[in-house]
Amino acid sequence: MAQIVLNNIVKLYDDKHPVIHGIDLDIRDGEFVVFVGPSGCGKSTLLRMIAGLEDISGGELHIGGKLANDIAPAERGLAMVFQSYALYPHMTVFENMAFALNLAGHKKAEVRAAVERAADILQITPLLKRKPKDLSGGQRQRVAIGRAIVRKPQVFLFDEPLSNLDASLRVQMRVEISRLHQELKTTMIYVTHDQVEAMTLGERIVVFNGGRIEQVGSPHELYNNPGNLFVAGFLGAPKMNFIPCTAMQGEAGKVSVRLPGGAVIDVAANGSTIASGDSLTLGVRAEHLGLRSAADTQDNLVDARVSHVEYLGDVAIVYASMEGVPEMLAVKQPAEEELLQAGNAMRLSLPPQRCLLFDAAGKALPRTV
């Protein structure tokens, strides 16, 4: 087990194209950290730098308290699992899992014990004599993870290990990887661009964008208190609704904003830096918007029109258009409630306690509830 510390880590390709712009990050011993972000943001590059598969252009990498920039990959005590399983096709599952230990000259009995223990953890003991071609995708990925486990690494590095699996298998393997972490208690870094995997697996999530960290925090922190528009829009499905609005008055405890259409609501956010007339963005999640009848005249309601409805079995997502808002607003509803028809006029309720405000630069105003 090991702590990993990144100090101002930089990656330049061909000595001039920066793709990682100075990352500072402290990963605790035994922690499960997920790197998430859109395609091309540098997740794999950073993971490969930690693994020693890419040179570090600048900054310091410490693994287990030791400066590791120039330590050879095999000496770093890490095991990496990729999206492609890369199993040897002519070897059985047992031989695939035993390969690295045999190569390192371990005793036969030791190798057998290590493989059997890993097979037991991953519940693949009945498959040990099979060849990879006779396994399902999920079973192959388990063998690839088993190959990593037998080496007893200080740190596991996963790069999108579940991307080749179908949706139901991904869910099952997600649970298995969580269980594996609980059992082994080894430091794990897991790269994904899937925000559901990030939310369900990570003790902490690091959100990347364009080679920089946008925010680091627990799934709960990032979901409920995103620091900026990028993080707010990246985590959560459907994505957070954004409504342009104008500040009327800002105080330390609340900010009054005028929404398109004229409705005014008081959002519980620190507005001490906000002046009247500032352009802001109000963010509210689909599960916090409520549907009301077009005739309802209560406070904090805005007019909208149903565009289409997605029925998901347990819930329905109502997509609605609102004048002055460029994107459709998504409203999550229990599915048993009467479904609205496309074209219906209705009103949306915006609970002020659940709304977030972002300034013109996209930074969240601190909440005051």
Say if strands 255-258 and 264-267 run parallel, antiparallel, or are unpaired.
Answer: antiparallel
Beta-carbon contacts of residue 3 (< 8 Å; ≥ 6 apart): 26, 27, 28, 29, 62, 63, 64, 65, 187
Interacting partner of 19 out of ligand ATP, Mg ion, none (Cβ under 5 to 8 A depending on kind): ligand ATP
Of 2, 9, 25, 41, which one interacts with ligand ATP (CB under 6 A)? Answer: 41
The answer to the question of residue 55 lying near ligand ATP (CB under 6 A) is no
Rounded to the nearest whole angstrom, what is the least distance from the CB of residue 302 to ligand ATP in the complex? 36
Peptide bond into 161 cis (omega under 30): no
Q: Which stretch binds Mg ion (CB under 5 A): 44-52, 166-174, 271-279, 291-299?
A: 44-52
The answer to the question of residue 241 lying near Mg ion (CB under 5 A) is no
Of 8, 24, 26, 40, which one interacts with ligand ATP (CB under 6 A)? Answer: 40
- Angle at CA 233, nearest 5°, toward 227 and 238? 135
The answer to the question of residue 65 lying near ligand ATP (CB under 6 A) is no
Of 6, 32, 33, 44, which one interacts with Mg ion (CB under 5 A)? Answer: 44
Pick from 225, 195, 207: nearest CA to 356 = 225
The answer to the question of residue 347 lying near ligand ATP (CB under 6 A) is no
Of 9, 23, 42, 173, which one interacts with ligand ATP (CB under 6 A)? Answer: 42
Q: 110 with 101: CB under 8 angstroms?
A: yes
Rounded to the nearest whole angstrom, what is the least distance from the CB of residue 96 to ligand ATP in the complex? 25
The answer to the question of residue 9 lying near ligand ATP (CB under 6 A) is no
Please, which residue, 56 or 259, has the CB nearer to Mg ion? Answer: 56
Q: 355 with 284: CB under 8 angstroms?
A: yes
The answer to the question of residue 193 lying near ligand ATP (CB under 6 A) is yes
Q: 285 with 236: CB under 8 angstroms?
A: yes
Please, which residue, 210 or 244, has the CB nearer to ligand ATP? Answer: 210
- Residue 290, amino acid: G
Q: 348 with 292: CB under 8 angstroms?
A: yes
Interacting partner of 88 out of ligand ATP, Mg ion, none (Cβ under 5 to 8 A depending on kind): none
The answer to the question of residue 53 lying near ligand ATP (CB under 6 A) is no
Instruction: Determine the Cα–Cα distance for residues 128 and 150; give it in Å rounded to an integer.
Output: 14
Terminal Cα-to-Cα distance of the chain (whole angstroms): 39
Instruction: Determine the Cα–Cα distance for residues 90 and 132; give it in Å rounded to an integer.
Output: 8
Rounded to the nearest whole angstrom, what is the least distance from the CB of residue 194 to Mg ion in the complex? 12
Please, which residue, 115 or 207, has the CB nearer to ligand ATP? Answer: 207
Interacting partner of 39 out of Mg ion, ligand ATP, none (Cβ under 5 to 8 A depending on kind): ligand ATP
Q: 55 with 69: CB under 8 angstroms?
A: no
CA atoms within 13 A on the CB side of 133: 3
Instruction: Determine the Cα–Cα distance for residues 289 and 329; give it in Å rounded to an integer.
Output: 9
The answer to the question of residue 161 lying near ligand ATP (CB under 6 A) is no
Q: Which stretch binds Mg ion (CB under 5 A): 40-48, 76-84, 242-250, 296-304?
A: 40-48
Q: Which stretch binds ligand ATP (CB under 6 A): 13-21, 119-127, 249-257, 258-266?
A: 13-21
Instruction: Determine the Cα–Cα distance for residues 8 and 131; give it in Å rounded to an integer.
Output: 44
Q: Interface with Mg ion by CB under 5 A: which residues? A: 44
Binding site for ligand ATP (CB under 6 A): 13, 17, 19, 37, 39-45, 193
